[in-house]
Structure 1
Amino acid sequence: MIQTKVRRTSEPDVRLRLVFDLPVTYPSGLPNISVSSGDLTRAQCEELRDRLLEQAGERRSQPMIHDLVLWTQQNFTSVIGNSIRDEKRLPSAMTDDGTWTTLLHLDHMRAKNKYVRTVEKWTSDLELTGKLMFTGKIILILLQGDRRNIQEYMVLQKTCKVDVDSSGKRCKEKMISVLCEIKLPPDHKRFPAFEAKEYSSISELEKEFNMAGLSNIFNEFVIGLF
């Protein structure tokens, strides 16, 4: 996570928080990037994120994080333009992202009870719903809610000491991957709350996804994990 400021002539600085989720194959594998800022609308954060992903693609197979931060500072105005003040005056409904679903895959969980309590607290504080799902060795976290709140959750997940290492020492989560991030249709019902649940079989897990109207996510991103 990198927090930086973009300085603009005769305008207030814009504070940015950039989160780079590096896969084990980095830099040949591209990082997952999220952008958040209290000075920008969600649409502007998404626009900047999309442009950063494009820049990351052009830098594949070479260290890129420092370059991406510099690119952001140098090209911010051309990407966002002069629309910041105008978009802040729009009604909130005009910039509402709706409900998003993000599916995460955890490699392991040593301090299970503490980990579960921590995730439950974070999701409660951020008003997120979904499931923490255990099926054999497969561990999934499905989050539903406001996209910015999901991004805040990801910051917590990557920066807080939520688990323990092999020696029992508290450590940050380093083995997590984002399987998918999609916007739900307006008429789609989200999970009413967040809960941790054990599933005895793949078919039982698949049934959970089907009942939630997320069978496409299961077929595309989950079944291949088994």
Structure 2
Amino acid sequence: FLYFPEMHGISFRIQICVKELLATDVLLKLLFHLPVNYPSTVPDISVNSDQLTRAQCMEVKDKLLEQAKKHLSEPMVHDLILWLQQHLKDVIKQSAAVSNEKTTLSKGTEDGIWMLLLHLDHMRAKAKYVKTLEKWASNLRLTGRLMFMGKIILILLQGDRSSIKEYLILQKTSKVDVDSSGKKCKEKMMSVLCETEVQSQHKRFQMFEVKEYSTLEELQKEFETAGLTALFSEFVPPLLK
């Protein structure tokens, strides 16, 4: 159980283990964000599990949100957890669900708009690096943000699934920076924090912008404005440790 106090509500993480569901126990990692007007408004929910595919995690999330709407104006998190423990098997509707991440990605929806969140360790040749990222985003018709906050560097992109894939290939294989001796080098310290289909509650970015933030609160506000509060709470605080 982890708890993140926030300016606009609170976020906390709950892990539950559902036994005898599949050939193995299923460990679910749930992230709840309760807005300030909770329980009059349903919480934001993020679902992750190493034993389920991304599609199954999304199905679990959708069903939880459906249940949450039935409990408006009353505390609901405990009831949602109990409901999930009792009905997870019905939601999944598959017997063999230990997923292979690469297989899951390859089966992902090619249509629709996808979102990618990356973390970069550093930029030595910052001006050139930024210019390259702007060019890639423009050529691939990707929108989003290149975000700097202290030593944290994040890239948040939205666009066609095929364009997101192509961007990742460029990011991993192109010489975009320089090493300590000034020699051109590939990006070897990039991590993919999240790659998922854009949901109805997520707002679409109209362009790709480079932005700098002086405080964590400013960065958090950027995510909240885009309907990505749960994404921020799950992936950004651990980067500060």
TM over 0.5: yes
Distance 1:219 1:152 in 2: 27
Q: Alignment partner of 1:121: what SS?
A: helix
Task: Give the alignment partner of residue 160 of structure 1, picking from 163, 168, 174.
Answer: 174
Corresponding residue number in structure 2 for 1:198: 212
TM-score w.r.t. structure 1 length?
A: 0.58
Matching residue's letter, 1:121:
K
Distance 2:200 2:208 in 1: 20
What is the Cα deviation at residue 217 of structure 1? Answer: 0.4
1:177 aligns with 2:218: no
Distance 1:177 1:99 in 2: 21
Deviations 1:190-210 (A, max 9, x none): 110001110001000000000
The Cα RMSD (Å) is 2.4
Matching residue's letter, 1:164:
V
Matching residue's letter, 1:159:
T
Deviations 1:106-140 (A, max 9, x none): 01100000000000000000000000000000000
1:132 aligns with 2:146: yes
Corresponding residue number in structure 1 for 2:233: 219
Distance 1:172 1:131 in 2: 21
Any stretches of 5+ residues in structure 1 without a counterpart? 1-49, 56-78, 81-94
1:122 aligns with 2:136: yes
For the 8 Å contact 1:98–1:186, the answer to whether it is kept is: no
What is the Cα deviation at residue 223 of structure 1? Answer: 1.6
TM-score w.r.t. structure 2 length?
A: 0.55
What is the Cα deviation at residue 215 of structure 1? Answer: 0.5
Distance 1:187 1:125 in 2: 27
Matching residue's letter, 1:217:
L
For the 8 Å contact 2:110–2:162, the answer to whether it is kept is: no
